Structure 1
């Protein structure tokens, strides 16, 4: 099939593109610049230059494809500080919702599938694919997909683990590494028994492809390999690799990242594994973090 992928040069999107191409599918990827898209071209993908603000470009590309995978999300808020980071996040969430509506609108009245991307933040510990999204969540990716599905669009959501890890990771774990270096301690909140889920980026990419190949029959898929890793254990590995003490700290220590650092984001992926015959094969979160290469950025 011909798949249009947004965020095609990103951490997850690039892995999805490679996985789709290896499986014999055709891919068109959205990239903000041709310089960023060199890898896509070399791999055999077609590239459309544009951003999430180019709604006409998105609509046209989606209309020309057999399926769409939407992974792009503006993560500039990660590099902001204080309240400004939350404002940036809200702006990114609103932009994401607009894009999903445009992509789904291109498919109304037809059958091609649309996979959008969300996370586990705000969901209860042990959440399954059957649980509904948190209506209070400021990120509306899944809510937008469900609205489209109610209108007859074959739209579904892949919920990613909070740590989509691998060498070269520039997501949430590197935020913790940077904070540990800046403060001289690898910290956890309270007793550190809140849990994060994890998945290697290559395993996550396969969830998207397998869901597309099966026809997107479910409203939600979980890209979760390690279902519940205690946060204190994550901090312990980071501390060992950086030769820093590992200690409890109040939420204020984490600044804008406090909500994520103290969150319980553990999820089951049993239904996804059975449905898609998905068997994660990459290293687990703690094993991956226990490599010196994780700390070279």
Structure 2
């Protein structure tokens, strides 16, 4: 399959690219610079230098493909506008072709919940509220085999939000403790980056039109458990200190608001429909073998 991939040099996208090429897919990776073009070329993809806000170019590239996986996002104040341009361009190109389009949202859009599934209500924090209508637009598209993936907190290969935990403030004194994000009793739904990448490829290859999948590996540790594991990795013997919510919000802003959500999700729908089978170590096992 000729696959157009955005975000191919990113944390998740690079893992997706590394799964597409060995499976025989011909990948064109949208990149923003010659330097990034060299990176994807080295991984077996053909680069296409373009901006995500260049709808005409994205539409042309998508029209020449057999399917699209969209992972890139500016992750700044332009994200909502740029993502809308990219998504509408891809949908125009693929209209009435029944070709696959895999889009990205995030589990945070569901807000807090102890048993989050694909049918759970949307209660997105301000950081990701813009993703909800766009994901609905994708799922409702006619004549395109659309699927939307909502990744949980991604870990593995030394990347992801665990680095933010590791870089958190430490208390003073001879036995410093690592400061948690908030009180620490909130759960984070998690997924290994390689397992998540496999889910994207499965969705491209066989997800039914209008599908929605939580990209959650099934492990939902508390922030305290995660921070204690990171603390041990940092040589702090598992010492942690809670952080008042107001201080977390002052320190991390809208991201802090999202990280204070208490979420537990399983990802069972992807297992049942796509045969997805996460194989990677749990987040706590991964932390134990990670140097921050």
Deviations 1:108-148 (A, max 9, x none): 22211111111111414221123354477544335323224
Structure 1 residue 206 corresponds to structure 2 residue 193: no
Q: 1:236/1:215 Cα in 2 relative to 1: closer, same or farther (>3 Å)?
A: closer
**Given that residues 145 and 156 in structure 1 are in contact (C-alpha distance below 8 angstroms), is that contact kept between their aligned partners in structure 2?**
no
CA RMSD of aligned residues (A): 2.2
Task: Assess, with a 3 A threshold, how the Cα gap between structure 1 residues 247 and 136 changes in structure 2: closer, same or farther.
Answer: closer
Match of 2:280 among 278, 282, 291: 282
* CA separation of 1:115 and 1:121: change in aligned 2, threshold 3 A: same
Q: Tell which deviates more after alignment, 257-266 or 9-18.
A: 257-266
Kept in 1: contact 2:108–2:152 (CA 8 A)? no
Give 1:265-276 correspondences, 5 Å limit: 265-276=263-274
Matching residue within 169, 172, 177 for 1:180: 169
Q: Deviations over 1:239-287 (max 9, x none)?
A: 2222343011102332224313311132121111111111111111111
Task: Give the whole-Å Cα distance in 1 for the aligned partners of 2:85 and 2:177.
Answer: 40
Per the TM alignment, residue 150 of structure 1 is displaced from its structure 2 partner at its CA by 2.6
The yes-or-no answer on 1:240 pairing with 2:232 is: yes
Decide whether aligned partners of structure 1 residues 252 and 136 sit closer, same or farther in structure 2, where only a CA change above 3 A counts.
Answer: closer
Q: Are 1:158 and 2:149 counterparts?
A: yes
Q: How many residues align?
A: 279
Q: Partner of 1:20 in structure 2?
A: 20
SS state at 2:108 partner = coil
Contact persistence 1:158–1:222 (CA under 8 A): yes
Aligned to 2:5: 5
Write the mapping of 1:52-131 to structure 2, written as runs, cut at 5 A.
52-75=52-75, 77=76, 88=77, 91-123=78-110, 124-125=112-113, 126-131=115-120
Q: Is the alpha carbon distance of 1:64 and 1:178 closer, same or farther for their aligned partners in structure 2, counting shifts above 3 Å?
A: same
Separation of aligned partners in 1, 2:244 and 2:19:
41
Q: Alignment partner of 1:167: what SS? A: coil
CA distance in 2, matches of 1:224, 1:151: 25
Q: Deviations over 1:206-256 (max 9, x none)?
A: 101111211434521121113411111011112222234301110233222
In structure 2, the CA distance between the partners of 1:264 and 1:202, relative to structure 1 (3 Å rule), is same
In structure 1, the residue corresponding to 2:220 is in which secondary structure?
strand
| Gap regions ≥5 residues in structure 2 | none
CA–CA distance in structure 2, aligned partners of residues 281 and 222 of structure 1: 16
Secondary structure of the 1:48 match is strand
The unaligned stretches of length 5 or more in structure 1 are 78-87
Is 1:40–1:46's contact at 8 Å kept on the other side of the alignment? yes
Q: TM-score, normalised by structure 2?
A: 0.87
Asked if residue 250 in structure 1 is aligned to residue 244 in structure 2, the reply is yes
The answer to whether the 8 A contact 1:157-1:221 is kept is: yes
Asked if structure 1 preserves the Cα contact closer than 8 Å seen for 2:189 and 2:220, the reply is yes
The secondary structure found in structure 1 opposite 2:34 is coil
Evaluate the alpha carbon distance shift between residue 44 and residue 253 of structure 1 in structure 2; reply closer, same or farther with a 3 A threshold. same
Q: Aligned-pair distance for 1:186?
A: 2.1
- CA distance 1:239–1:219, shift in 2 (3 Å): same
- Which whole-Å CA distance do the structure 1 matches of 2:135 and 2:268 have between them? 22
